[in-house]
Chain A
Amino acid sequence: MQSTCDIHKTAVMAYRLRWKRRRLLIRAFRKRRQLKIVHDRTQMITAGAILCFSTVRNEAIRLPYFLEHHRKLGVDHFLFVDNNSTDGTANYLSQQPDVSLWSTPNSYRLSRFGVDWLTVLQARHGHGHWCLTLDADEILIYPFHDTRPLAALTEWLDMKGIASFGALMLDMYPKGRLSQKPYAPGDNPTVALDWFDSGNYMIQKKNDLENLWIQGGPRARLFFADKPRRAPTMGKVPLVKWDRRYAYVSSTHSLLPRRLNHVYDESGGECTSGVLLHTKFLNTITAKSAEEKQRREHFANSDLYEEYYDRLVDDPNLWCATSSRYTGWRQLEALGLMSRGTWL
Chain B
Amino acid sequence: MTVGIIMLVHTALSRAEQVARHWSAAGCPLVIHADVSVPAKSFKAFQTALSDLPDIRFSKRHRCEWGTWGLVAASQAAAQTMLEDFPLVRHVYLASGSCLPLRPVQELIDYLADRPQTDFIESATTADVPWTIGGLDSERFTLRFPFSWRKNRYLFDKYVAIQRGLGMKRRIPGGIVPHMGSQWWCLTRQTLSAILDDPERPVYDRYFSKVWIPDESYFQTLARQYSRQIESRSLTLSKFDYQGKPHIFYDDHLQLLRRSDCFVARKIWPQANRLYDAFLTDAAHAMKRTEPNPSKIDRIFSKAVERRTRGRPGLYMQSRFPAETRENGLTSAQYSVFHGFSALLKISSHGWHGPPVRVSMATFLHPNGPSFPKVRP
The interface of chain A, by Cβ under 8 A from chain B, is 144, 147-149, 151-152, 155-156, 159-160, 166-168, 201, 203, 205, 212, 214, 235, 263-273, 336-342, 344
A159 closest partner in B (C-beta) = B245
Given known contacts A144-B250, A144-B252, A268-B326, is B321 in contact with A339 (CB within 8 Å)? no
Taking the complex as formed, is B322 at the interface, i.e. its CB lies under 8 A from any CB of chain A?
A: yes
Q: Contacts A159-B245, A342-B242 given: A267-B323 contact, CB under 8 Å?
A: yes
Which of A212, A267, A340 makes the CB contact (< 8 A) with B307?
A340
User: CA A340 – CA B316 in complex, angstroms?
Assistant: 15
Give Cα distance in the complex from A340 to B319, angstroms.
Answer: 10
Determine if A160 and B271 form an interchain contact, defined as CB atoms under 8 angstroms apart: no
Choose from B247, B311, B318 the contact partner of A269 (Cβ within 8 Å): B311
Measured CB to CB, the nearest residue on chain B to A149 is B271
- Are the CB atoms of B317 and A267 closer together than 8 Å? no
Q: Say whether A338 contacts B319, CB under 8 Å.
A: yes
Q: How far does the alpha carbon of A90 sit from the alpha carbon of B48 in the complex, in Å?
A: 48
Q: Is the CB of A270 within 8 A of B250?
A: no
Is the CB–CB distance between B319 and A271 below 8 Å?
A: yes
Given contacts A203-B316, A338-B319, contact A270 B308 (CB under 8 A): yes
Cross-chain contact A344 with B247 (CB below 8 angstroms) = yes
A269–B309 CB distance below 8 A: yes
Q: Which residues of B contact A235 (CB under 8 A)?
A: 318
CA distance A339 to B327 in the complex (A): 16
Contact of B311 (CB < 8 Å), options: A144, A156, A212, A265? A265
* Pair B310/A269 contact, Cβ less than 8 Å: yes
Q: B42 at interface (Cβ–Cβ under 8 A)?
A: no
Give the CA-CA distance A202 to B247 in the complex, in Å.
33
Known: A144-B252, A152-B269. A344 touches B319 (CB 8 A): no
Query: Which residues between 243 and 258 of chain B lie within 8 Å of chain A, taking CB atoms?
Result: 243, 245, 247-248, 250-252
Quick check: B317 and A269 within 8 Å, CB to CB? no
Residues of B within 8 A of A263 (CB): 318-319
List B240-295 residues whose CB lies under 8 Å from chain A: 241-243, 245, 247-248, 250-252, 269, 271
Is the Cβ of B315 less than 8 Å from the Cβ of A341? no
Which residues on B are within 8 Å of A, measured CB to CB?
241-243, 245, 247-248, 250-252, 269, 271, 300-301, 304-305, 307-312, 315-323, 326-328
Do the beta carbons of A265 and B319 come within 8 Å of each other? yes
B317 CB contact (under 8 Å) in A148, A151, A152, A339: A339
A155 / chain B contacts, CB cutoff of 8 Å:
269
Docked CA distance A214–B248 (Å)? 32
What CA separation (Å) do A151 and B320 show in the bound complex? Answer: 24
**Most interface-central of A167, A214, A339 (chain B CB within 10 A):** A339
Residues B319 and A266 in contact, CB atoms below 8 Å apart: no
Contact B318 A273 (CB under 8 A): yes
What separation, in Å, do the CA atoms of A152 and B270 have in the docked complex? Answer: 9
Q: Which residues of B contact A212 (CB under 8 A)?
A: 318, 321
Once A212-B321, A264-B318, A339-B320 are accepted as A-B contacts, the answer to whether A269 and B250 lie under 8 Å apart by CB is no
If A148-B251, A344-B300 touch, whether A266 touches B308 (CB-CB below 8 Å) is: no
Q: Chain B: which residue is nearest A204 at the CB level?
A: B321
Nearest first, the 5 closest Cβ-Cβ pairs linking A and B are A273-B319, A342-B308, A271-B319, A147-B252, A268-B328
- How far does the alpha carbon of A203 sit from the alpha carbon of B321 in the complex, in Å? 9
Residues of B within 8 A of A205 (CB): 321
Q: Chain A residues with Cβ under 8 A from B307's Cβ?
A: 269-270, 339-342
Q: Which of A151, A159, A342 has the most CB of B within 10 A?
A: A342
Contacts of B317 in A (CB 8 A): 168, 201, 203, 264, 270, 273, 336-339
* A-B CB contact pairs (8 Å), 5 listed: A148-B250, A268-B322, A270-B315, A338-B317, A340-B307
Q: Closest residue of chain B to A273, judged by CB? A: B319
Q: Please indicate the chain B residues that have their CB under 8 angstroms from the CB of A203 in the complex.
A: 316-317, 321
B242, B311, B318, most chain A CB atoms within 10 A? B318
Q: Which residue of A lies closest to B314 (CB)?
A: A336
